[in-house]
Every structure is written in C-alpha cells, then in structure tokens.
Amino acid sequence: MGGEPNSDMYMSNEETVSPRRHWNETVMLQSLKTPTRLAALLIGALVLFLAMALPSVAQSIDDAIAKLTTDGYSDTAAAINALATSGSPRALPIVQALNDGKLQFSASDKKVFIVTATGLVEAVTGAPVATPPADISDVRANNRIRGLVNAALGALSLANPDPQKRIASADAVFKSRDEGALAALDTAIANETNSTVAIAFKAAKAAIILFKADAPVNDRVAAAQAIQLRGTQDAVALLRSLPADTPKPVLEAANASAKAIEYNLALWSMAQNAWYGLSLGSVLLLAAIGLAITFGVMGIINMAHGEMVMIGAYVTFVVQEIIRTRFPGLFDWSLTIALPLAFMTSGLVGIAIERTIIRWLYGRPLDTLLATWGISLALQQTVRSIFGANNREVGSPSWMSGSFQVGQLSITWGRMWIIVFALIVFAGLIAILRRTPLGLQMRAVTQNRSMASAMGIPTAWIDALTFGLGCGIAGIAGVALSQIDNVSPNLGQGYIIDSFMVVVFGGVGNLWGTLVGAMTLGIVNKFLEPVAGAVLGKIFVLVAIILFIQKRPRGLFALKGRAVES
Amino acid sequence: MIISFLIKGLDRRTAICMLVLLLICAAVPLSNAYLPVGHPFRIPTDEMLQFGKYGSYALLAVSLDLVWGYCGILSLGHGAFFALGGYAMGMYLMRQIGARGVYANPILPDFMVFLNWKALPVTWYGFNWFGYAMVMVLLVPGLLAFVFGWFAFRSRVTGVYLSIITQAMTYALLLAFFRNDMGFGGNNGLTDFKDILGYNIQADSTRRGLFVATMLMLCLGLWVASGIVNSKLGKVLIAIRDAESRTRFIGYRVAEYKTVIFTISACMAGVAGALYVPQVLIINPSEFSPGNSIEAVIWVAVGGRGTLIGAIVGAVAVNWGKTWFTGQFPEFWLFALGALFVAGPLLLPKGIVGSISDMLAKKKSSQMYASLPATSEAVEDGASPTVE
Amino acid sequence: MSLFKTMTIAGAVLAGALTASAALAEDTIKVGVLHSLSGTMAISETTLKDTVLFLIDEQNKKGGVLGKKLEPVVVDPASNWPLFAEKARELISKDKVSVVFGCWTSVSRKSVLPVFKELNSILFYPVQYEGEESERNVFYTGAAPNQQAIPAVDYLMSADGGSVKRWVLAGTDYVYPRTTNKILEAYLKAKGVAAEDIMINYTPFGHSDWQSIVADIKKFGSAGKKTAVVSTINGDANVPFYKELGNQGIKATDIPVVAFSVGEEELAGLDAKPLVGHLAAWNYFESIKTPENAQFIKDWQAFTKNPKRTTNDPMEATVIGFHAWVAAVTKAGTTDTDKVIDTLPGTKVPNLTGGTAEVLPNHHITKPVYIGEIKADGQFDIVWQTKSLVPGAAWSSYLEGSKDLVADWVTLKCGNYNTITKKCGG
C-alpha cells in the first residue's frame, strides 16, 4: 500500500456520497456561487412557476409541509424557499421554529408540528395536539439549511416588531441581495421610525440596486455611496466584488466608498487592539493580584498560587452544577453566588497551608518556593482525583454572553465584565489595605514584624489572614477566568509564570505597579501580536521584561528606603 | 597553578565522594558487560541507562549548587543551559544519521524534509564534526550565561528579580524552540539518533561507554566545583552570598565574580545536557520548561544546598523516587512527590547531606571539644544562613 | 528493581527470589498501558487508560486470550517525553508485557520508538496524527491525514458543505498541524484555490487569548467569498478559542470551523449552544447509531459507573487496536512479538460504526470518515460520510519528500520504500 492507491480515494469527490445529497441537478448546472444566490434563483423560478399555475397559497404551503417530512436536506431547503415566497401568515412561525430547533415532523402522518411553551401544536393550523404521533422527530438542519433559514427569515421578518430582528433581517437581505425583497424593503423603509434600523434597510436596498444590472447608473452610484454608511468589512467586500463589466461611474463610486470605509476601519482596528490589550491586561491583573499580596507583600514565593485560581474555577463549576440540577432559574446568578464561596474556599485553603506549613518557613523564602511547589503538585492531583482530568463545563450567564457594537468595534460582554470586575477587585483590595484596621496591621507586620508585635498586633494571625486574603483573591480570579479558559486541573499552571512576570515587572510590594504592569504587558502584547504573530509577540515581551529589569532592577514602581536592602 | 587548584579542591569529603563515583563508574559497566543475565549482581542495561540519566541530572545539580549554594544566585533557568547543551549534542547526532533517515536525504534531517525545507540552515553548519559540536556544548550556554549575567549583575539585579528573569529567559527559549520556523524540530525536537562517533548508539557497549563518560564528567565537575569553592575565588563568592554590599564596599567587583561563576556553571549544565541526550535519545523544547528548572532547584535543596555532594545525592534520590513512584503508584505518585517537597524543608531544612554533616559535627564537637563551636569546615559547607 | 535496591539487598538471597517470581509471571499475559495520568496531557489520555482497562476487563470475562487472563500494567509517564521512553523500557524489559497501548502526542511516540525497536515489542498508537511514519513495531489505529483532513476539505468544497472558496488553516505550532496544513495547502492549490485565499496561522500550545486571531478570521472571512476555518488547534486551546468565536458572534452559517481535534470529550467541557453547526471530522462519533456502538456505550458507562460518560474517536481506535491484537494473538497462538507482528496485517475486526477495520501492510488501518455538525447537547449530527472505507496512507502524496515512498511490512518488509530509487531508506 502507500500513497498511490489511496490518492484516488480522496481525489474524487464523486465517489463519496452524502446520505442526503439529492441536489437538483439542473440547478447545479448553472454554476452558482453561493447557496444564498441559489436560493434567490430558486425563489425566482418558483415565483415564475406560481404565476403560471396560479395555485392557491394553501396548496404551496401544503407542498412545503410535505417536503419537510422527508428528512432530506434538499427537500427541507426547497420547503423553506417555498414558505418564504408563499405569503402565508403561518410561514414565519414555521421557519422561526426551524431556526430555533423546535420544528418536528411525523413521516407517517405527513404533518409538521411546532414545540411551544404550552405544548405541541400543528404547524399549519396552529391547533394544539394532545397526543403526538409515535414517529415524531426533529426536522434536522445543517449549515446550508440554517443559511437558507436566515435568508428566509430576513425576507419574512422585515416587519418584525423587535428592532434587533429587523436589523438581522436587513443584514440577511444585504448578504443575499435578493431582488424579490425590494418591494418589501421599500415598504419597510417607508414605515421605519428607528434610525439605526433605517440605515440597515437602506444599506440592504442599496446592495440590491448596486448589483442590479438593469438599474439606472445614477441610482447605482448613489447606492454605492449609501453602502459607505454601513462601514463594515463586508461592505468593502461587497463594493469590491462588482463584476468587471459594470459601468465605469458605478465602479469608481464603489471604489471611493470602499477606500473611505477601509481608512475608517484601519483607525478602528487600532482602537480594537487597545481594547484587546486592556482585556488581556485585566486577565493578567486578576491572575497576578493575589500573588501581589502573597509574594509582593509577604515575600512568599507562592508556587501554589495558580492552584488557588484553579480552586476558584472549580468552585464555580460546583455552584453551577448544583444550580443546574436544583435551581435552574438561578443560573444567571451563578457567578455572583460563586464569588464569595470561591473567596472563602481558596482563602481557607490558603490559611490552612499557612498555619500548617508556611509559618515554619518565614525568613526562608526559597524554602517556601520548594514547599509551595510540592503543595501545588498535591492540589492538582487532588482536584484530578475528585473531578477527573477532563475539562469541566462552566457556562456563561446571559449577561456575559454575546457582544455589542461601538462604531466598528465589537465588544463582547464577557470581556467587558472581566475588565470591570478586575478593576473592582483592585479597588477593593486597595481599600482593604489602606482603610481597614486589618490592612493597617498587615502593612505594619510586613514592614516591621518585631515592632508590630511589640505594639500588640497578633502577628501570627495577621500572617495567616494576609496569606488567606491573597489566596482568596486568587480564588475570585478563578471565577472570572472560568469564563474564558479551560476549567481543568492544569488551569493554574498556565497563569503562574505570567503572574510572577507581572508582579516583578510592576515592582514587588506595590499594588499600583501590578495594575500598571498588567495593563502594559497586555497592551504591548496585543499590539505586537498582529505584527509578529502570537508566539514571537510573547517572546518579544519576555525579552523586553528581561531588558527592562536591567534598567530598573526593582521593577516599575520600586519601593524606596531602608526596607529595600534588608 | 591548575594542579594546585585541583589538589586544593580535593578535601576529604570530595575525595570520598569521587572515589565512590569512580567505583560505580567502573563496577556498573563491568557487571553489565561480564556477568551473565540473571546473575544477582548484574546491573541490567535499562537500570544503567537510568542511572546514567541521573548522573547527568546530578551534574546539572552540582552546577546549580555552585551558583546558588555558594554565590546566592538562585537561577530558575538553569534548565535552559542544560537544554542548549542537549540541543548541541542532538544536532551532532542528527547530522550523523545522514542518509539513513526515512527520506534518505544525506544532508537534511527528516523533519526539514517533510516541512519542505530546501537547504540546511546556517545554525546547523559544522555540527557534523564532533569537536565542533562539543565546543558548542560549552560555548552556547556559556555565551548566553555570560551575556545574560553581564547585563543582569552589572545592573545589580538580585534576589527574586534575578530568579524571575532567569525564568523569563528559559520560558522565552521554550516558546522559541517550540516554533517550527526556528529549524530545531519544533515540539518533536530531535529524535531517531543512530550512532555517536561511529558507534551504534543503542548498543550496550556504547551505553556502557556513555555511562562511564557521564560518571567521569560528574567526577570532574565535582572536582572543579570543589576546587573553585576551596580557592580564593570561592571565599569571595561566599562573601558575596552572605553580604553582597559589604563585599562590594571592600573593593571586590561583585558583578565580575558573579558573571564568571554563572558562566562556568552554565557550561557545566551544558555538558550535563550533552551527556543526557545520547542516553534518553530525544531532546525537545519541554526541557526548557520552567518547571524543569524549578525541579533542579528542588534536587539541590533536598540534598542540601551549599554542599555540592548534596546536589548529587538530591538529584539521584528525587529522580529515583520519581521513577519508582510513577511505576508503583501511577495515580498517587504526585501526592508522594508533593509531600516530599513539603516535608523536606520542614523536617530537614538543610537537606539530607547538610543535616547529616550537622549531626556528625555536633557529635564530634560534643565528644571532643564540648565547649568549642563547630569546625570551620562545617560552617561553610553546611547550609547557609543567607537571607534573600 | 533498581540499582539502589540491588545494591542494598546485594546478597545471594536474591537468586532464589528471582526464580520464584519468574514462575509466577507465566500465569497471565501482561498488557502495558502507557498513557499520561498527570501533567498537561492527562486531560486527554486518562480516558484511554480507562478504555484499555475496560477492554481487558471485558476480554477476561470472555475467558482471556489463549486461555490466560490479561493483566494490565499501568504506569504514569506524566506528560514528560523522556519519561515515556523510560517507562516504555520498564514495561517491556522489567514487566515483560506482550503489547503496549499508549501515547497521544507525536513527540511521545517519537520518544518511545527507539525503545520499541530495540527491545522488539508492539505499540498500538490510537490517535490521529500527521502520518509520515511507518514502523515495524508500531500499529497506527488513529487516522492518517488522508483519513481525516482531506475528506473534510472535500466536504466543505462541495455544495452541501457550502462551496467554500476561502480557507483559514489555524493550528497549534507543532508537527501535526504543520504537516497537515502543508498537505492541505498543496491539496487546495491543486484544486485551484489561489494563494491569497489561504490564510495560515499558528499559535503556541495552551494559547488562551484568541481575541486578535478570531477578529482576523472574521476580517478574512468578510471578503465576499464563502470562508471556512480548518482547525488543527490542539486540545487545551480549543475551549477558549470556541468561547471567543461564540462571543464574537461568528456563527457556523457565516464561517464554519471544521476541527480535527475536537470531539465529544472536549465539548463536554464547554457550553455547546453557541457552537451549533461547527464541524468536526472523525472516524467515529458517539452519536452514530449502530448496534455495536450502542452496546459499547452501554458497557462503557456501566464499567465507569457514570451514565454521562462520553466516548470519542481515539477510544474507538483503542478498541480496534485491542481487538486486532486479540485476534492476531489468537490466530498466531502465541504472544511472541515477531509472530504477532507478522499476523496482524490482514487482520479484520469490526469497528463500532458498522464497518470493518483491516490492518494494512503499512500498519495503518481502514477507516470510514464522518463529518459531524455540533449539536446543542455536545453531540454530533452526521452530515456526511465516505461511501467506502478509506485505507490509511503512511506517506502523503502531496508532500515533496514523501510522494515516492511506500510502506509495506508484508512483502517489501520496509516502512519507507522509495519507488524511484527502488531502495529501502533508513
């Protein structure tokens, strides 16, 4: 055997079959570019057919329904197109249900059903169904079907009361450039009161007109200019994809628009890099801030710091598991509930470690490195024994999912909350250290232990509490990191080196240094990444840290005074 | 001068340790070669290989102890020097494969062929000569350590700052060597070695040779380290470790001393790496991982920092324990290892050798000079009372 | 045990003990399990260790092999590549195992290879890999690139897959993605895809901040042509990658991602709802409905006492390898390495998807290829499959260096026979 006999195995696509590929051969022959354009043509063909045969609306719906019950992707596709052009009021709910995965069918009854909150209903009549048929199963969708559904929903829901849906449908039309939707768009534009939605509608209309070969040249030039308002990368692509035989003025207008958009986009991409940098910086800050206490303030080289973060992430997992099984309604609160629990769990583990091991090792920082490295191995293996070596699923509450647009900048909610959260934690920690009696005592003990002791401060307990605080903060960092990273026993290992870099770069013993250090490293990394690639970017940052430390051997914000030399 | 330096290095303990090493060096290969299989005193090949590997680790530990135990430089990046030495050796072994690779390309190593490289990168020139490779084994880690140390020590980067930037160094190298574009085999590293100096690398006789070479290099390393420690240079290093500022004020150029010892130590680590590769038959970027360097520190700490012999004892003991645990308790060995690292500093703060010599010194002094303090030797060889 | 022990015990007492233990060892056939149970790879490999234990348990219930019970020997190479070699040596020479099931990463396989060659033992390697290897002592039951990557690209180029015209090849920077992407790049160019329509991106292991790269993909994909991402991103980095895709709103209908390293196990670690419609190409999916598979899942879940425990492709590969070994040992009537190696090619065992896996003379096996779309429950909906079984090719015909090489351990007795020079290299 070897290369040759197998090569024809994968060379010829024809030899392999899809279980559901009965694609209409005549349509195939027309060498169409995308399924959406295919859909447009199909719709056109269907309209022609309808005009000739003049069948009733009800009949076309029935045909579509029958096709939905064959469990074949091609039939489903044809059914969607039929529904989209049927003009029936029942078409939208059916397509919507398919989109949501709530459409079911029975092959024996040739009927289609919709799963609603109140129970099963017949798709065409909307009548409730008491006993579902025995062979009921979901109408299946693949990517092609979902694409068609989006296009169909676009045409069907231009008049949807929800502005977000209207924008989505306008976008779908923008992509499909379905000339059949022109009339509907005109009505929609006339009735539209929301300016954002109106821009989307106009862009969609412009996209259709721009590509309409029989439209007047002036209209097409205006259309090219109107698309500029959309300002996105896909608008550039659209403007640049005009066929070569387009009249010259149209081409020129399209090029000018595309250039204007691109310039604008270049500016936005700077803003985007800065945002990504802030976001990475906030993750680094979260990971490092607990270490800034245990390592920075107390001088313990805490190699188990990453494991405290991991414990926090696992607490989140456990909280979510309990909520999922017992109180599903509370899911959006899961992270809020997990925060104090993670703080306490990691904090208590930290205090236990301090009381049993680290307190014997004060004044021997390198021995603490050794012992905490051992602890970190043991903690990892403990978690592995309890939860298994696999990743665990931690879901995002609804307020942390999705994204929103600021100009051309798409900001994800999750990242945004993590930045906010990191800053809150930072502010809270500063407040604790500066404004509470505990903070005062902590600073006293770390600055001059014997003097603090002489003043009646219980130094042993303050040590335990300080270490516990650092570990607890690491725990709540774990809650946040569970949203963007694997929840596995190795979670902490990925952050430990970066955390030490941040603390050392910022200056040991200075929380502000940690903040500035984390943000600087994040932003530098993100501006380097597009130029140098992810790996080289990171190497450059590491080398930069090494060189920086030569310049400022005690970090960005060095402590001054006699305490430094001792 | 060199001879007097080396003779000075032969204090009683070093001499005993070297004698033991030389005995092992002779006995193990002999028993492996001449005793029949199944004989109770025969050391099987795989155990000899294992202990050869520990031997190269021990040399790494000695080199680390030299800078950490006697000069207070805690390098969390010594694994990088070890790995660089290993890569230099690996590149020599790779070039020795010649046309026997799977693609039968006489010049390019296999991984370059299937990634469609057309010509040998400049970095690989010369590695078909053993001598050149051996020079590189010393030169590459030495040069890196010299440049790194020159900058760092002149800027008076000390303590944890130094530890963390050495860690950054090894981490950066790890990432760099992971890149396939570097031309060092990426994640897979260098494997599939065939022979060394014309001898089949998998033959038992070659392995015995490698074992002997490792043990001899370990002896030599120990001797040189001991010589340095017992020389005037060593006294200055200890002074730097215990009171860096004071030493500087007295007029010693601390940065230069530190750079020199750091460079020597890196060269030793490179040699250790070069001995390691032909015995485990693979070198890949994970040798650069910061965890490995931390582990090397742990060997030294377990054995006893600042004792040299302790470094050897620690490296062998921890690695032997690791081998044994991973075979016996695959699910729980990390607990055992973790417990060892925690218990070590708690129960034996001066490490195995440090604690034993303390005990002996106490016994001796209580027997003979009940009223006098411990001998000077015990003080300087015992674990150091350093503060960061 | 070791030099240490030998030295400490060092007495004639040992001679008696040795003969006694040798007699004991005859009662069972030992099977080595060489999968990392700690360290970075534990996340993937632990399951395979359990799979081998499960298979041994099943086989022993049927009376074992050749009338002897099988006895597993589990060791932990701890995701440490030199330790893999050490442990392999220990398994073969100390524990005297007849066969070893193990390794996940290519580098671990490369690390143990010399040991298996030198001590002449058998390794079954159950993970999809970059190909470009065929060794006498190794049987590759995972997919070669022609059994996974190329069919997946074919599907995406078809009308059903969305007639993709623009490609992002995103991978972790190590040898499997590098090689696979080299092969795919050559293949796509042969299919008429222009160089500017291919974007290749590599990231380090465990990369967790995907914001910039996902944004780049989004930008690359909005150029008007249908775009798809072929992901050879390694295990751990996938979760943050998919989370970022979901957050930035890249839907499968816009830019589908087809992954070669994401299976049921990986999806169990994240919320699959935003990923619905993204694809994976494997030779096995848990959701494939065959009686064999249903039975296997049932027994597996009973064995692990976890009714939610998933199965995945490397597990099936382990199952095939194990059954092939049992069949070959039974046929040969011995566990002797050379005889088993000679018997294995041609051995046919049923796979879990209703087909037959045949061990080929190049030590790879025949496999069907499936494309699955991710469903909201973390399982896959099979949208495409090859009509017939695809034989695994050790050497890719799309790579310059290997296009003239063939592997055949039956007639040519060679893993890298050059058809031009008519010579066996290496």
| Cα–Cα distance measured from residue B188 to residue C179, given in angstroms and rounded to the nearest whole number | 12
Query: Can you give the pLDDT at residue B345?
Result: 82
SS (H, E, C) C379-400: CEEEEEECCCCEECCCCCCCCC
Average confidence score pLDDT of chain B: 88
Q: Which two tokens stand for residue C59?
A: 């086989």
Assign a CATH topology to domain A268-564. Answer: ABC transporter involved in vitamin B12 uptake, BtuC (1.10.3470)
Do B41 and C6 count as a contact with CB atoms less than 8 A apart? yes
Q: What is the pLDDT of residues A532-560, one digit of tens each?
A: 888 888 899 999 999 998 888 888 887 66
Cβ pair A510, C177 in contact under 8 A: no
Q: How far apart are CA B370 and CA A36, in angstroms?
A: 97
pLDDT in tens, C57-87: 999 999 999 999 999 999 999 888 889 999 9
Q: If we measure between CA atoms, which residue out of A439, A459, A438 comes closest to residue A448? A: A459
A299 touches chain B (CB under 8 A): yes
CB contact under 8 A, A554 and B345: no
- Single-letter residue type at A551: K
Question: What pLDDT shows up at residue B90?
Answer: 96
With beta carbons less than 8 A apart as the criterion, state whether C380 and C252 touch. no
Using DSSP, state whether A105 is helix, strand or coil: strand
Neighbouring subunits of C (3+ Cβ pairs under 8 A): A, B
CA distance B109 to chain C (A): 12
List the structure tokens of B6.
Answer: 């080396």
DSSP structural state of residue B350: T
Q: Provide mean pLDDT across the span A44-66.
A: 57
- CA distance, residue B344 to nearest chain C CA (Å): 21
Q: Looking at beta carbons, which residues of chain C come within 8 Å of A538? A: 204
- Residue C426: the pLDDT is 57
As a whole number of angstroms, the distance between CA A28 and CA C315 comes to 40
- How far is the alpha carbon of A330 from chain B, nearest alpha carbon, in Å? 37
Three-state SS at C59: helix
With CA atoms as reference, report the closest residue to A6 among C407, C185, C414, C320: C407
Q: What share of chain B is helix, strand, coil (3-state, %, to 5)?
A: 75, 0, 25
| pLDDT of residue C19 exceeding 50 | no
Q: Are strands C279-282 and C257-259 parallel, antiparallel or unpaired?
A: parallel
If one looks up domain C146-288+369-391 in CATH, what number appears? 3.40.50.2300
- Which range, of A70-74, B126-130, B188-192, averages the lowest pLDDT? A70-74
Per the CB < 8 A criterion, the answer to whether A302 and A368 are in contact is yes
Q: What is the structure's pLDDT at C14?
A: 38
Distance from CA of A339 to the nearest CA of B (A): 29
Interface confidence, given as ipTM, is 0.86
- Contact of C99 with chain B, judged by CB distance below 8 Å, is answered with no
Q: Taking CA atoms, what residue in C is nearest to B45?
A: C93
In three-state secondary structure terms, C422 is: coil
Q: At B343, is the pLDDT very low, low, confident or very high (cuts 50, 70, 90)?
A: confident
Question: Distance between CA atoms of B188 and B171, rounded to whole angstroms?
Answer: 17
Which of A7, A8, A9, A316 should we substitute to test contact with C (largest number of C Cβ atoms within 10 Å)?
A9
Instruction: Tell me what pLDDT residue B365 has.
Output: 74
Strand, helix or coil for residue C338: helix
Question: Hey, is C81 helix, strand or coil?
Answer: helix
Whether B294 sits inside 8 A of A535 (CB atoms) is no
Query: How far away is chain C from the Cα of A562, in angstroms, using its nearest Cα?
Result: 40
Q: To the nearest whole angstrom, how far is the Cα of C14 from the nearest Cα of chain A?
A: 36
What backbone torsions phi and psi does residue C371 show, to the nearest 5 degrees? -115, 130
Contact: B191, C114; criterion CB under 8 Å = yes
Higher pLDDT, C249 or B122: B122
Q: Residue with structure tokens 């990986």?
A: C266
pLDDT of residue A155: 67
Structure confidence at residue B216 as a pLDDT band (50, 70, 90): very high
Q: C27-143+297-367 and C146-288+369-391: same fold? A: yes
pLDDT at A22 over 50: no
Nearest to C5 by CA among B35, B50, B37: B50
Structure tokens at B143: 């040069």
Residue B373: burial class (beta carbons within 10 Å; 0-12, 13-18, 19+): exposed
Give the right CATH number for C27-143+297-367 from 3.40.50.300, 3.40.50.2300, 3.40.50.1820, 3.40.640.10: 3.40.50.2300
Q: What percent of chain C has pLDDT over 90?
A: 57
Range name among A230-244, A326-340, A468-482 with the lowest pLDDT average: A230-244
Listing DSSP states for A470-531 in one string gives HHHHHHHHHHHHTTTS--STTTTHHHHHHHHHHHHHH-TT-HHHHHHHHHHHHHHHHHHHHH
Minimum-distance CB partner of A374 among B164, B167, B342: B342
Tell me which of A154-168, A250-264, C81-95, C127-141 is least confident: A154-168
Provide the mean pLDDT of chain C: 88
Taking the C-alpha atoms of residue A103 and residue A99, their distance in angstroms, rounded to an integer, is 8
List all residues of chain A from 503 to 522 with a beta carbon under 8 Å from chain B: 504, 508
Q: Is A402 on the interface with C (CB under 8 A)?
A: yes
Q: Which residue of A has its CA nearest to B337?
A: A374
Q: Nearest CA of chain B to the CA of C302: how many Å? A: 22
Q: How far is CA A535 from CA A505, B121, B144, B183, C245, in A?
A: 20, 21, 21, 15, 20
Q: Which residues of C touch B188 (CB under 8 A)?
A: 106-107, 110, 174-175
pLDDT above 70 (res C8): no
pLDDT band with cut points at 50, 70 and 90 for residue A93: confident
Half-sphere exposure of A3 (CA within 13 A, CB side): 20
Residues B346, A357: C-beta atoms closer than 8 Å: yes
Mean pLDDT of A54-76: 71
End-to-end CA distance of chain B, in Å? 35
The whole-angstrom separation of Cα A125 and Cα A61 is 11
C364-403 in b/e form (b: 16+ CB < 10 A) is: bbbbbbbbbbbbeebbbbbbbbbeebbbbbbbbbbbebbb
- H helices of A292-333, where? 305-326
Nearest beta carbon to residue B284 from set C10, C81, C416 = C81
SS3 assignment, position C203: strand
pLDDT in tens, B240-274: 999 999 999 999 999 999 999 999 999 999 999 99
Q: Is the dihedral angle over the CA atoms A455, A460, A464, A466 positive or is it negative?
A: positive
User: Chain B partners of A363 at a C-beta cutoff of 8 Å?
Assistant: 387
Percent of chain A with pLDDT over 70: 87
Domain range for B202 is 2-381
Touching A: which chains, 3+ CB pairs < 8 A? B, C
Min Cα distance B125 → chain C (Å) is 22
Counting one residue from chain B and one from chain C, the pairs whose CB atoms sit within 8 A come to 155
Q: Does residue B383 have a pLDDT over 70?
A: no
Distance in angstroms (rounded) separating the CA atoms of residues A183 and A112:
30
What pairing do the DSSP bridges indicate for beta strands C423-424 and C28-34? unpaired
In a domain, B387, yes or no: no
Q: Is B366 part of any domain?
A: yes
User: Helices A163-176 and A35-53: crossing angle, nearest 10°?
Assistant: 90
pLDDT band at residue A436 under the 50/70/90 scheme: very high
Please report the pLDDT score of residue A266 as a whole number: 87
Q: Which of B23, B178, B191 to mutate to test the interface with C (most CBs of C within 10 A)?
A: B191
Q: How far is A487 from chain B (nearest CA, A)?
A: 20
At C312, the pLDDT band (50, 70, 90 cuts) reads very high
- CB-count burial class (<10 Å; 0-12, 13-18, 19+) for A23: middle
Q: Across-strand partners of A114? A: A103, A121
Q: Shortest CA distance to B264 belongs to which of B29, B87, B62, B93?
A: B62
Report the percent of chain B where pLDDT is more than 70: 94
Token duo for residue C13: 């007492």
Query: Average of pLDDT values for A86-92?
Result: 75
What is the per-residue pLDDT across A426-435, written as a single tens digit (0 to 9) for each?
999 999 999 9
Whether C399 sits inside 8 A of B114 (CB atoms) is: yes
Q: Out of A381, A384, A484, whose CB is closest to C243?
A: A484
Mean pLDDT on A473-490: 91
Per domain, the residue ranges of chain C are 27-143+297-367, 146-288+369-391
Q: Map out the domains of chain A as residue ranges.
A: 21-149, 157-246, 268-564
Number of H helices, E strands in chain A: 23, 6
Please state, rounded to an integer, the average pLDDT across all residues of chain A: 81
- Of C38, C362, C390, Cβ closest to residue A2: C362
> DSSP letter at B186?
G
pLDDT in tens, C232-260: 998 778 888 988 888 888 888 889 999 99
Mean pLDDT in residue range B275-297: 92
Q: Which residues of C touch B335 (CB under 8 A)?
A: none
pLDDT of C18 > 70? The answer is no
pLDDT at B278 over 90: yes
Are the CB atoms for B193 and B97 separated by under 8 Å? yes
CB contact under 8 A, C163 and A494: no
Residue A40 pLDDT level (bands cut at 50, 70, 90): low
> Which residue of B lies nearest to A551 if distances are taken between CA atoms?
B155
Of A360, A382, A553, Cβ closest to residue B156: A553
Cβ-based contacts of B178 with chain A (< 8 Å): 535
Task: Count, in order, helices (H) and strands (E) of chain B.
Answer: 16, 2
Contact A371 B346 (CB under 8 A): yes
Interchain CB distance below 8 Å, C393 and A380: no
AA identity, residue C64 = G
pLDDT-based confidence at residue C2 (cuts at 50, 70, 90):
very low
The two structure tokens encoding residue C307: 């009714």
Residues 6+ apart with CB under 8 A from A416: none
How large is the average pLDDT for residues B321-344? 85
Residues from chain C that touch A4, judged by Cβ atoms under 8 A, are 397, 406
- CA separation for the pair A191, A174 (Å, rounded): 19
Domain count, chain B: 1
What pLDDT does residue B384 have? 40
